[in-house]
Amino acid sequence: MNYKEIAIGTFIKRVNRFIARVWIEGIEQVVHVKNTGRCKELLLPGAKVILEKAQNPARKTPYSLVAVYKGDVLINMDSQAPNQVVYEALLAGTIKEVPPILSAKREVTFGHSRFDVCVETIEGKEWIEVKGVTLEENGIAMFPDAPTKRGTKHINELVDAVKKGDKGTIFFLIQLKGIDYFTPNKKMDPDFAAALSNATAEGVKILCYDSIVTEKGLEIGEPVPVKL
């Protein structure tokens, strides 16, 4: 997945979940933040950020903040990117843990949830929910960075799908490199962690990959160990 046109800026402050102020070529700009998570450990004053230029010249915010440097490590924080990256990888057959695909659809409803991808494989139907991960501490990636009742609901609905005979997968895409392993953020959201553990016991598959991050885009990387 590539961005059409990017700019480099310096982060000033976050105004709210959707808006931030950034220096771009010496001019203070109001930009859209493509991640409604907290990202407090990333969006620090003075941080080097990557922005995508809006293709609509009439848009109120001319740029969207899509990535940030944490020291020397570039972290993609575009919350829409993981779905696209995983979907492209599924179609390309890059994700070996998923059987060969016959067809794939995005944003498909099951029960009271809408899952990111539903694929028909040689082994049957598989529902896949994608979660982008940006939180990292000492080489350990964690999700979520804020309590997520919606995320817990998705897990429980995947369990229902498995009980009805389909397959269910939760796919964590870590939006950076250099990760030792992934673990649920039990301290932040114990309900999500408990639901994830229960889901594995019920037959839901957990996959976790890191990413190849550049200033111009994001690609799927390699599998990362999961510790529950």
> What confidence score (pLDDT) does residue 29 get?
96
Quote the percentage of the chain above a pLDDT of 70. Answer: 100
Mean pLDDT of all residues in 83-99? 95
CATH of the domain at 112: 3.40.1350.60
Last residue of a domain, one of 76, 102, 125: 76
User: Tokens 């991640």 correspond to what residue?
Assistant: 35
Do 12 and 60 sit in the same domain of this protein? yes
> What confidence score (pLDDT) does residue 38 get?
85
Indicate the average pLDDT of the chain.
95
Task: Say which range, 3-7, 55-59, 99-103, has the weakest mean pLDDT.
Answer: 55-59
Last residue of a domain, one of 76, 94, 122: 76
Question: Measured between alpha carbons, how far is 14 from 22 in angstroms, rounded to an integer?
Answer: 9
Do 51 and 85 sit in the same domain of this protein? no
* Distance (Å) of CA 98 to CA 127, 209, 221, 227: 11, 13, 16, 20
Do 17 and 96 sit in the same domain of this protein? no
Do 67 and 95 sit in the same domain of this protein? no
Is 86 inside any structural domain? yes
* Distance (Å) of CA 139 to CA 26, 77, 116, 136, 180: 34, 17, 27, 6, 5
User: Which DSSP string do the residues of 176-210 spell out, in sequence order?
Assistant: SS--SEEEE-TTT-HHHHHHHHHHHHTT-EEEEEE
Number of domains composing the chain: 2
Is 217 inside any structural domain? yes
Do 22 and 118 sit in the same domain of this protein? no
Residue 197: pLDDT band (50, 70, 90) is very high
Is 51 inside any structural domain? yes
> What confidence score (pLDDT) does residue 26 get?
93
Do 11 and 91 sit in the same domain of this protein? no
Do 163 and 181 sit in the same domain of this protein? yes
Q: With 90 as the cut, is the pLDDT of residue 8 above it? A: yes
Q: With 90 as the cut, is the pLDDT of residue 168 above it? A: yes
Task: Please choose, from the candidates 36, 85, 110, 40, the residue with its C-alpha nearest in 3D space to the C-alpha of residue 207.
Answer: 85
Phi, psi torsion values for 141, nearest 5 degrees = -90, 140
Q: With 90 as the cut, is the pLDDT of residue 151 above it? A: yes
Residue 36: pLDDT band (50, 70, 90) is confident
Is 1 inside any structural domain? no
Q: With 90 as the cut, is the pLDDT of residue 211 above it? A: yes
Q: With 90 as the cut, is the pLDDT of residue 180 above it? A: yes
Do 176 and 100 sit in the same domain of this protein? yes
Is 228 inside any structural domain? no
Do 36 and 141 sit in the same domain of this protein? no
> What confidence score (pLDDT) does residue 16 get?
94
Do 52 and 126 sit in the same domain of this protein? no
| Sign of the torsion angle spanned by Cα atoms 64, 69, 73, 75 | negative
| Sign of the torsion angle spanned by Cα atoms 122, 126, 131, 137 | negative
pTM: 0.95
Q: What domain range is 67 assigned to?
A: 6-76
Mean pLDDT of all residues in 47-59? 93
Residue 57: pLDDT band (50, 70, 90) is confident
Last residue of a domain, one of 48, 76, 104: 76
Q: With 90 as the cut, is the pLDDT of residue 58 above it? A: no
